[in-house]
Amino acid sequence: MRNFSYRAVEEVGSAVARHTEFSTSAFLAGGTTLIDLIKLDVMRPEQVVDVNRLPLKRIDLLDDGRIRIGALVSNTELAHHPLIRARHPLLSAALLSGASTQLRNMATTAGNLMQRTRCAYFRDPVVSECNKREPGSGCAAATGINRLHAVLGTSEHCVATHPSDMCVALAAIEGTVEVEGPGGKREVALLDFHLLPGDTPQREHALEADELITSVVLAPPLGVAGAHYLKLRDRASYEFALASCGVVLVLDGQRIGQVRIALGGVATKPWRAFEAEASLVGVAPGRECFEQAARLALAHARPLEHNAFKLPLARQAIVRALETALDDARGGMSPPAQSDTDAGSPAGDSP
C-alpha cells in the first residue's frame, strides 16, 4: 500500500477544491471499493478526500413526485426507506440482493454508482494486459478466463461486466445524477452516466475531472406497476450476478401499457433492453411474447469462449422476471420483489 495525503472536508465546495490539488485524487465515502483497490495497488491516489462529513445523507420526496437521494445515503438505509419500498420496490430489492449486510451498511449511493469492475485481470496488477488499468496494454480477458465477463456492450478493448445490482434498478427507474465540480453544478441522465468501453475502457462514467456526485434523483414511479428483480448467481447470497433482470410493468386493461427491462451481469454497463420493451407495449402479456422479448434483448450479444451460457441464462431471467412482475401488477400474487433472502454473510469484497 502506497502513502497518500488524507483530507477530511465538511462542505461540497471544499471537497471539490481539495480534489483539484492533486492529479490523482480520490473521494472516499464508504470505501468498500476504493480501499480494496488501493490495497491491491490498482488505484494509486496521491490524495484521498474524505467526504463522509458532507451534508448529503437525506432522502426527500420532491413536489413533482421525484425522490432525491443524497450521495452519502447508505445502501442499507436506501433499501429500507419507506419512500423507496413504497414507490420503487425494484430498487429496494436490487440493493438487498447485493453484497452483505455489513457492506451495505458502509456502501453509499454514489459509491455504488462508481463501483469498479470485478474482472480478475483488472484487479491483479501482476497482469500487464488490461486496457482499463493501463490504456493500450491489451485485454487479458479476451483470450483468458472470461466466464464472468460481458456479452453485451463489449468492444475488442474490454469485455468487463458492470457489477452493480443497484444500478440495474436505477436504469429501469431512470432519473438523473446531480454533480458539482470546478465548473459548477450539472445533471447527467442516469442512462448516460455509465459509458460503454469502446476504445477508451478507462473512461467508465460521465464525470469530468474533479466532479463530485451530490445526489441521485429518481423519476416518479410509472404508475400502479408490478416489479421484480431476479438475480442468478453461482451461490445464493454474497455473490455477483451471472445474469440479473429488473422489470417494472404497468398494465393497461388486459394489455401491457408500459414496461422497463434492465439487465445486469451480462453487460459492460447497466443495460436497458429497449427493443424488448418496445415489442411488449400494447401486447396481451404471456409466455410467448415474453420469450420473444428475451430473444430480442440478447439478439446482439457476443459471447466469449467461456460465457455463452449467459445467453440462455439471461433469456430465462427476463422471462421469469416479466412473469413475476406481471403477477405483481395483477394484484400482488408474487413473492416480494427480490430473488434472495437477506442472509448475513462474511465481510470482505463487495458483490
Between 104 and 157, CB nearer to ligand SF4? 157
Closer of 130 and 177 to ligand SF4 (Cβ):
130
Q: Between 139 and 318, name the residue whose CB sits nearer to ligand SF4.
A: 139
Backbone angles phi, psi at 193, to 5 degrees: -70, -45
Q: Is 122 helix (H, G, I), strand (E, B) or coil?
A: coil
99: alpha, beta or left? (left if phi > 0; alpha if psi -120 to 50): left
Residue whose C-alpha cell reads 462529513 in the numeric block = 53
Q: Which three cell numbers stand for residue 279?
A: 415489442
The footprint of ligand SF4 (CB under 6 A) covers: 117, 119, 121-122, 130-132, 139-141, 158-160, 201
| Closest C-alpha among 63, 72, 60 to residue 28 | 72
Minimum CB distance to ligand SF4 smaller for 257 or for 303: 303
- Between the alpha carbon of residue 230 and those of residues 64, 77, 93, the distances in Å are 30, 21, 9
Residue closer to ligand SF4 by CB (options 159, 256) is: 159
CB of 155 to ligand SF4, least distance (A): 9
* Beta carbons of 48 and 70 less than 8 angstroms apart: no
CB of 158 to ligand SF4, least distance (A): 3
Q: How far is the CB of 224 from ligand SF4 (least distance, A)?
A: 41
For residue 8, the cross-strand partners are: 50
Q: How far is the CB of 145 from ligand SF4 (least distance, A)?
A: 10
